[in-house]
Structures are given as structure tokens and as C-alpha cells.
């Protein structure tokens, strides 16, 4: 054979054998270059982070005013592109500014990328969830207070010209328990200019602030200071304990109303002849006028269906990708314990650590109530149950509560207490179906001991029907 052909064959073979090694090397070479580039980018990010972010997110990303960024769940869920967008654009209506020059901030796109690379570096070792000590710390609270509250409430809580509301008022500190402060601070009073801090501060941070406010208190508390634990969601309700003058139950030391919302409540339940106090919960979020399920339907179809599904069972097309899964609104074991106010809060502010976004910007307030009306009266309280419940209502409740639920039935006049107006959304929005069910099933209550008279289905159905009074067409 021609020597040149043999040589050619050998060379071809050699190339064929060596080529993969070359590719292999090239790939790892490129990977190495990529890693080096990432490392450089992250190194630049460290400096930017210290300058611009540590103040709110903590030196090690543990979270201060802003949420913890050094957190496994968050980092594993947020893609680089998502982090990039958040940092460049900020979070509207929160303390998180937009940093990108494109949005009027100080940072170039490359610098935002550097920050993303730096944050990403935490992922492998990031702790899962909050590891911080849960005991409220007045010193930390003071720091947060100085960073977020003094502009309006002043250094010593005396109030300012801008907001002449004293937080260091002894009477106020003694009268209100920690749960009350937690509620006011996390919910805010937007209409009066008090921001909603629950969106910006973690429950732990709010408890820290309360511990700081308590350092101003020199008089003893009248109400025991119950400590809301940082893990529980703040209950979005205000509890008014109305005690009768005759026999006040143990524990209720004061005959006054144990709530600030007292002055704001138009309808206090009249004192009944019964000696026990019944706590009445009023919602802080409730619709101003009757929400409409039919108006809410198009919103549901366009904005909620991909996750919660056309049947409301949580089986939308995107659902299998999500953890936690979208709520199944047709699951009674979950939904009977929920209340309208909580749903409104979820739709308005989103659900932390889930893909449930906030719709505050996208749907106006009335529209959010409409979509809740649709969810509540279509999936949670299904139309056939409502129809069955109407018959139960007419037979058992109408005589007192009236045709339209307003408490003006023919038997109402003879009663010492006016039947509750079931169209009162402020009252109903704070109650769950389970609470209503239990209320009408109580043995020994002369008006509502339906436990013996009606079977379970009939009682659940009438509860489903009662909700129609809160909503319009």
C-alpha cells in the first residue's frame, strides 16, 4: 500500500481519536472561563451589595427591613432573570427602590448582573427559612423603629407635626395588648396615612418594634400582653369583647371595649339578657358595596384560571409546576375555615412564599371583591348547595332574619335583641363558614340550637345561602 495513504489513515485516526479530547478540554475550558467570569462579577457585586443593599437586607442577607435574600427557598425559586428584574425595577409600593438606571436608579445593567451573581453565590449554603431567634428583641426593634417610623412618629414616639399621634401615650400602651399593636402596624390605616407595614416588615420585625414600644411603658398593662408568635399570620380581624354590666366573665377586667376600632364600629351588638360576653369580630377589609360574582367572572377567567383551574379545583394548566399548589377552592376541609377578609388579603397582597401574586396593581379594589364573590359563590359555596340552603332558610330563619337577611322578619320585634343583619359585610367578612355553622348548631342557645332540628347537610347548605346576602347579583 502507498505509504502516504497509510500515513493519511493513521493521521485521520489520530485526529478522530483526539478530537473528543479537544472538545472535552474546550468545554471545560469554557466552563472554567464562565466560572471565572461569574466569580469576577460576584466580586464586584459584593461591593455594590455593601453600599446599596446591606442596610435593608442585612450584611449577610439575613433580612432587616427587606426580606432575607440569603434564603434557600427564595434563591432556588427565583431565576436570575427574576432577580435581575426585581433589582432593576424595584417593588412598587414597598421600600424596595428601583436600582436600574433605566428606572432612574444608580446602577448599570452590568452592575445589576453583578449583584445577581453575588446573591447566587449564597444559594449552596443558604439556610432554609428563618433561623433567627424568635424572641422579640427591643434593641433590634429600636433600630427598625429609627429606620422606618420616626419620620412620622418621632424619636420618642411623641408624634410629629406631620402625625400628631403619640405612640408613647401611657394610657394607650396600657390599654392595648401586643396583638392590637401587631394588627395596627401590619395592616396600617391607609386611609389615614399609616402605611401597611406587614408587607414590608416580617412578623418578627414587627414584634421587635412592639418590644421597643413597650420599653416606653411605665404603667402596668390592663389587658394581658399576648405575644403573637412570628410564625402565625396576623389574624385580619379585630376582636371586640363586649361585656355586660351584670356578670363580667373572669379575665375581662375592663368593662370598656378592648379595641381601637370601637369608636369606628357603627353597630355594636346590644347587650342581651344573657350574662356571658360574646366576642364579636369585625373585619378590617370588607367591601363598601355589594360585590358581584358575575362581574368577577371575566377577571377569574383571564387572571386566575391558569393556576386555580376553570373549576376552581386548583388544577389549572400551570398548577403542576407550582409548589405549593394553587388552592383548591372546592375543598371544604380547607375553605370552610377561611373568611372573605383573608381571601381579599391574599388577592390584594399575594401569599408569601408561593406563586400567588398580589393583584393590588392589576385589579382595583371593587374588582378584587368581585372576583372573590365569584370564587366564593361558585366554587366554595356551589350553586346547588345555595339553592338547597334557601329552602332551609325560608323555613327556619326568615321569620327572624327577614327576606333579605336584614334582621327585620315578622318575629324580630318580639325579641329583646334585634337579629343580626346578615348583609353586614363588615361583620360577615370576618367569619368563616365553620364559625357560622357552629353558631347555628349550639345546644342550649334558645335561638340557634339547630343541631337537633337540622341535619349536617341542611346546616352547611343554609350557611352557603347566608353568604348570598353579602353579595349582589
Scanning residues 423 to 462, which ones bind ligand HEC (CB under 6 A)?
Answer: 427, 436, 439-440, 447-448, 450, 462
Among 42, 75, 96, 429, binds ligand HEC (CB under 6 A): 96
Residue 219 sits at the vertex; the CA angle it makes with 218 and 224, to the nearest 5 degrees, is: 115
| Residue 419 interacting with ligand HEC (CB under 6 A) | yes
Among 70, 148, 243, 292, binds ligand HEC (CB under 6 A): 148
| Orientation of helix 365-375 relative to helix 340-349, angle to 10° | 130
- In the bound state with ligand HEC, the residue whose beta carbon lies nearer, of 2 and 270, is 270
Among 134, 142, 152, 225, binds ligand HEC (CB under 6 A): 152
Q: Please report how close the Cβ of residue 23 comes to ligand HEC at its closest, in angstroms.
A: 37
Interatomic CA distance for residues 449 and 452, integer angstroms = 7
Instruction: Report, in this order, helix, strand and coil percent for the chain, each rounded to 5.
Output: 50, 5, 45
Q: Which are the contacts of 278, defined by CB distance < 8 A and separation ≥ 6? A: 242, 269
Q: Please report how close the Cβ of residue 217 comes to ligand HEC at its closest, in angstroms.
A: 13
Q: Please report how close the Cβ of residue 200 comes to ligand HEC at its closest, in angstroms.
A: 4
Residues between 362 and 391 that touch ligand HEC (CB under 6 A) = 371, 375
Residues between 348 and 367 that touch ligand HEC (CB under 6 A) = 351, 354-356, 359
23, 25, 32, 33 from 19: Cα distances, Å:
6, 10, 19, 21
Among 153, 175, 204, 385, binds ligand HEC (CB under 6 A): 153
Interatomic CA distance for residues 339 and 278, integer angstroms = 19
Residues between 54 and 93 that touch ligand HEC (CB under 6 A) = 55-57, 65-67, 69, 74, 83, 86-87, 91
Among 44, 73, 94, 225, binds ligand HEC (CB under 6 A): 94
- In the bound state with ligand HEC, the residue whose beta carbon lies nearer, of 179 and 422, is 422
- In the bound state with ligand HEC, the residue whose beta carbon lies nearer, of 11 and 399, is 399
Q: Please report how close the Cβ of residue 234 comes to ligand HEC at its closest, in angstroms.
A: 13
Among 241, 307, 340, 386, binds ligand HEC (CB under 6 A): 307
Interatomic CA distance for residues 206 and 138, integer angstroms = 10
Q: Please report how close the Cβ of residue 275 comes to ligand HEC at its closest, in angstroms.
A: 14
Residues between 282 and 301 that touch ligand HEC (CB under 6 A) = 299
Interatomic CA distance for residues 144 and 159, integer angstroms = 17
Residues between 112 and 141 that touch ligand HEC (CB under 6 A) = 115
Which span sits near ligand HEC by CB under 6 A: 35-43, 51-59, 128-136, 283-291?
Answer: 51-59
Categorise residue 75: left if φ over 0, alpha if ψ from -120 to 50, beta otherwise.
alpha
165 near 213, Cβ under 8 Å? no
The residue assigned the cell 346546616 is 459
Q: How many CB atoms lie within 10 A of CB 105?
A: 18
| Residue 151 interacting with ligand HEC (CB under 6 A) | yes
Q: Please report how close the Cβ of residue 338 comes to ligand HEC at its closest, in angstroms.
A: 4
Which span sits near ligand HEC by CB under 6 A: 146-154, 222-230, 238-246, 247-255?
Answer: 146-154
- In the bound state with ligand HEC, the residue whose beta carbon lies nearer, of 134 and 412, is 412
Which span sits near ligand HEC by CB under 6 A: 10-18, 34-42, 185-193, 228-236?
Answer: 185-193
399's enclosing H/E stretch is: helix 398-401
Site string for ligand HEC, 191-230 (x = CB under 6 A): -xxxx-x-xx--------x---------------------
The residue assigned the cell 358581584 is 292
Among 46, 95, 261, 262, binds ligand HEC (CB under 6 A): 95
Best CA proximity match to 463, nearest among 375, 388, 372: 388
Residue 46 in 3-state DSSP? helix
Q: Please report how close the Cβ of residue 259 comes to ligand HEC at its closest, in angstroms.
A: 11
- Measure CA of the first residue to CA of the last residue in the chain; give whole Å: 95
| Orientation of helix 203-214 relative to helix 178-187, angle to 10° | 130
- In the bound state with ligand HEC, the residue whose beta carbon lies nearer, of 12 and 233, is 233
Give me the DSSP letters along 382-397. -HHHHHHHHHHHHHHT
Interatomic CA distance for residues 401 and 421, integer angstroms = 7
- In the bound state with ligand HEC, the residue whose beta carbon lies nearer, of 19 and 151, is 151
- In the bound state with ligand HEC, the residue whose beta carbon lies nearer, of 17 and 440, is 440
Residue 375: exposure state from Cβ atoms within 10 A (0-12, 13-18, ≥19): buried
- In the bound state with ligand HEC, the residue whose beta carbon lies nearer, of 17 and 245, is 245
Amino acid at each position: 500500500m502507498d505509504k502516504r495513504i497509510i500515513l493519511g489513515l493513521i493521521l485521520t485516526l489520530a485526529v478522530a481519536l483526539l478530537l473528543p479530547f479537544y472538545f472535552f478540554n474546550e468545554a471545560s475550558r469554557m466552563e472554567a472561563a464562565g466560572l471565572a467570569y461569574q466569580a469576577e462579577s460576584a466580586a464586584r457585586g459584593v461591593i455594590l451589595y455593601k453600599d446599596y443593599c446591606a442596610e435593608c437586607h442585612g450584611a449577610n442577607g439575613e433580612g432587616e427591613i427587606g426580606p432575607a435574600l440569603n434564603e434557600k427557598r427564595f434563591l432556588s425559586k427565583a431565576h436570575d432573570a427574576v432577580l435581575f428584574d426585581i433589582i432593576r425595577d424595584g417593588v412598587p409600593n414597598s421600600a424596595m427602590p428601583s436600582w436600574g438606571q433605566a428606572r432612574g436608579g444608580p446602577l448599570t445593567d452590568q452592575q445589576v448582573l453583578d449583584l445577581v451573581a453575588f446573591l447566587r453565590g449564597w444559594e449552596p449554603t443558604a439556610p432554609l427559612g428563618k433561623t433567627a431567634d424568635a424572641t422579640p428583641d427591643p434593641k433590634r426593634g429600636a433600630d427598625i423603629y429609627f429606620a422606618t417610623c420616626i419620620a412620622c412618629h418621632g424619636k420618642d414616639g411623641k408624634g410629629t407635626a406631620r402625625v400628631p399621634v403619640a405612640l408613647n401615650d401611657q394610657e394607650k400602651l396600657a390599654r392595648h395588648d401586643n396583638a392590637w399593636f401587631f394588627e395596627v402596624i401590619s395592616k396600617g390605616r391607609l386611609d389615614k396615612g399609616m402605611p401597611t407595614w406587614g408587607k414590608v416588615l416580617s412578623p418578627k420585625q414587627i414584634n421587635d418594634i412592639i418590644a421597643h414600644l413597650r420599653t416606653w411603658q411605665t404603667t402596668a398593662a390592663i389587658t394581658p400582653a399576648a405575644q403573637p408568635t412570628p410564625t402565625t399570620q396576623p389574624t385580619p380581624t379585630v376582636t371586640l369583647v363586649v361585656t355586660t354590666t351584670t356578670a363580667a366573665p373572669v379575665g375581662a377586667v375592663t368593662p370598656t371595649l378592648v379595641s381601637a376600632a370601637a369608636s369606628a364600629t357603627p353597630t355594636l351588638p346590644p347587650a342581651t339578657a344573657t350574662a356571658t360576653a360574646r366576642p364579636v369580630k369585625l373585619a378590617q377589609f370588607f367591601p363598601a358595596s355589594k360585590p358581584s360574582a358575575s362581574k368577577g367572572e371575566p377577571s377569574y377567567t383571564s387572571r386566575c384560571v391558569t393556576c386555580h383551574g376553570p373549576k376552581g379545583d386548583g388544577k389549572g394548566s400551570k398548577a403542576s409546576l407550582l409548589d405549593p399548589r394553587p388552592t383548591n377552592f372546592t375543598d371544604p376541609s380547607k375553605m370552610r375555615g377561611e373568611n372573605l377578609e383573608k381571601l381579599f388579603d391574599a388577592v390584594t397582597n399575594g401569599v408569601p412564599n408561593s406563586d400567588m401574586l398580589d393583584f393590588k396593581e392589576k385589579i382595583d379594589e371593587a374588582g378584587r371583591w368581585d372576583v372573590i364573590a365569584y370564587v366564593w359563590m361558585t366554587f366554595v359555596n356551589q350553586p346547588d348547595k345555595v339553592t338547597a340552603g334557601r329552602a332551609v332558610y325560608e323555613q327556619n330563619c326568615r321569620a327572624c332574619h327577614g327576606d333579605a337577611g336584614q334582621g327585620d322578619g315578622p318575629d324580630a320585634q318580639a325579641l329583646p335583641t334585634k337579629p343580626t343583619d346578615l348583609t353586614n359585610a363588615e361583620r360577615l367578612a370576618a367569619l368563616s363558614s365553620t364559625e357560622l355553622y357552629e353558631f347555628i348548631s349550639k345546644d342550649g342557645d334558645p335561638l340557634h340550637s339547630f343541631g337537633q332540628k337540622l341535619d349536617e347537610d341542611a346546616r352547611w347548605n343554609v350557611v352557603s345561602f347566608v353568604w348570598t346576602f353579602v353579595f349582589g347579583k
